[in-house]
Structure 1
C-alpha cells in the first residue's frame, strides 16, 4: 500500500439522528416538527464539522437514507454497519437524542468500524433546554471536544 493511500482519511457514513422521546409531551402530542427538523440539522452539522476537520472523508448517505429512516438504527442489530458498507464506508456513525422533558435532553453519537462491526467511540452530552441553540452547542461540543480532540480517551503525553 502506498503512503498516499495510507494517508487518505477513513470514509465515514453519518446517518441522521433518531429521537427517543419519553416525555409527557411526546406521549401526548407525538413527534414534534421542530424536533424532527433539529434532528436533520444536527446530522448535517456533524457531517459538516467532521468533513471540515480533514480527519474523515464524509460520504453521501442518500443511496441508503430511505432504508436508514425505515430502520431503528439503534436497535436493528447492525443494519447501520451493513448500510454504511453498501456505501463503501470504513466507519458508520449513528446518533440519538433522548428527551425526558423540554428541559432535560441528551445527545449520543456512536462510531462503529464497518469492517469489524465494533464500537470505536461513543460520546454523550446533556442539553438543558429544547432549543435550536442548545442542540447546536451540544453537538458542536461533542464534535470538537470528544470526536476530534487529540488523544481523546488516551492518556495525555507528558
Structure 2
C-alpha cells in the first residue's frame, strides 16, 4: 500500500534543474487527522516552506512548480519521470507529508535516479508539531537525509 502511495505521489513533484541537479516536485499533503478547523491555507504555506528548505539545502536543486505538472493529468509515474528528464536533472525528489493528528506528522520521501527511474533512497520520518518551525526543522533534517543518501 505504501509503495502504491509513493508511486502515485512520485508523479507530483516537478522542477526545473540543471544537469547533475535535483528536481524537487511539489510536496503533497495527505491529511487524515479529521480536525474540524480548515487549515488549508496554513498547510499550503507549510508545504511551500518544506519545498523551499529542500531547494536551499540541496546543491543544484530546483523546484518544479505546480503549473509544470499540470500537463501530467493524471499524475502517473511515467509522466512525472518524463517531466523530470526534461529538466535535465540527474535525480528527483518526491515528498508526501501525512498528518495523522493535531501533533503527529510523517514525511515520506523518495530520491529517484531520473535516467533509470531507480530508487536511490527512501525516507520515512516522523515529526511533532503542526506549526511553521516544526516543518522547518523537519525540512532541514530531510534535506540532510537526502544529501547523505545521494552521496
Q: TM-score, normalised by structure 2?
A: 0.75
Structure 1: distance between partners of 2:19 and 2:69 = 24
The answer as to 2:79 corresponding to 1:79 is yes
Per the TM alignment, residue 77 of structure 1 is displaced from its structure 2 partner at its CA by 2.6
Structure 1: distance between partners of 2:43 and 2:119 = 27
Per the TM alignment, residue 143 of structure 1 is displaced from its structure 2 partner at its CA by 1.6
Structure 2: distance between partners of 1:122 and 1:72 = 25
Structure 1: distance between partners of 2:38 and 2:82 = 30
Greater C-alpha radius of gyration: 1
- 1:12-51 equivalence runs, <5 A: 12-25=22-35, 32-51=40-59
Q: Which has the higher contact order (CA 8 A, sep 6+)?
A: 2
Q: Structure 1 stretches of 5 or more lacking a match?
A: 1-7, 52-56
Per the TM alignment, residue 141 of structure 1 is displaced from its structure 2 partner at its CA by 1.3
Structure 1: distance between partners of 2:72 and 2:134 = 27
Structure 1: distance between partners of 2:133 and 2:47 = 13
Per the TM alignment, residue 46 of structure 1 is displaced from its structure 2 partner at its CA by 0.1
Q: Structure 2 stretches of 5 or more lacking a match?
A: 1-17
Are the counterparts in 2 of residues 78 and 117 from structure 1 also a CA contact under 8 Å? Answer: no
